[in-house]
Structure 1
């Protein structure tokens, strides 16, 4: 509703500028503001528990969504030719779109910022090589992730697999997008700059990246406070030992 209201207000603003109407009728305060609840973040252990709980052919889907920050559509569209394991990088140049008739189309990302080169943690490379050999389609245009019968990935079909994995991992309330959210949060906590986050996430605006930086700063503040308490404890004057106060211990 908030998105629709912002669009309607923008349309009327254009109408005012063009002299078609005298004033914008969209005057409801904060109607275009979204108050979405903060999405949950998985712990590092939970990510790997979930990856081990899901069907083996989708294990790397979980890990790349987290540690490369790739969207569902970007993973579903990923081809062999854009996966460089020697350089430990993924070139994101396309994404999938699922139409109402059930068909899947592949096209460029919504913005130029979505086209990007993402580094892969070295620890994932052995498993990613194994996945490529075992599950990926053949040929340079072959998709890295496909269904059990070789079909393109579809959210509707994956929902069942995802639900089963969550149950097996004893997790609940998580969406697939929360993996990317988790990875971005971890990246911010690792010290990534605003520009680093924007590039890695594939965003052209600072809005989303600033959210993760704010989260990282909150965590950094908590760490600083904890260090401060440790320092205070260390700087407290030591209580004199009883024998230093009274050598004979008589108290006189």
Structure 2
């Protein structure tokens, strides 16, 4: 599969104009979110292999050891090559709910942000929410600190860590929205969110609306016909493959494990 530049990933604004997205419905108009053109123009949706994205930073669904594992974690380590593991060995692990940043080596991105999401526990839902939100917030802070303008997230904790997608999506939404509304929010030009492996179609609709998504009928009008035609042509070329759902068969790096600690940044 060829490398996909960030510029070729369609934004929420474009997807609404192309009628590829429709908004979630609300019982009362009073609870419907206020549209945000700024968010829609900067947030894109991805479906496929995160190791093929040519962005400034990708967010890895890592474990406490940071030494690799299965799923997305293992795929990122394999694609980056052995130098990534060598650097990760020097980081002394990472606390659940936090993240650390490394170089990307053989990946087409510039940085890899390793976020350690929580293993979901319905009996400690508030703690799980706090840790998951911490992953998103810390990842965004690290991206800005490392002069990254674009960032792509994997669906943190929604795989083998068992976080239900419909519970994880609102937590991610709130954390990202608060960051974008903060003093460093305008330093990120494009943010890519997953549409599979956890964040399924209905969760996507919730994301768009809570982030200020507008309906296909009332979406933002294109600035001009020529620009819209060009954007539509670019969007039609993007066809990312489905994310693998099985675990790798090889004996990759250390398996995932958890240890309770406080938040940590690098």
TM-score by length of 2: 0.28
- For the pair shown, the structure with the greater C-alpha radius of gyration is 1
Larger strand fraction of residues: 2
Structure possessing the higher relative contact order (Cα contacts under 8 Å, 6 or more residues apart)? 2
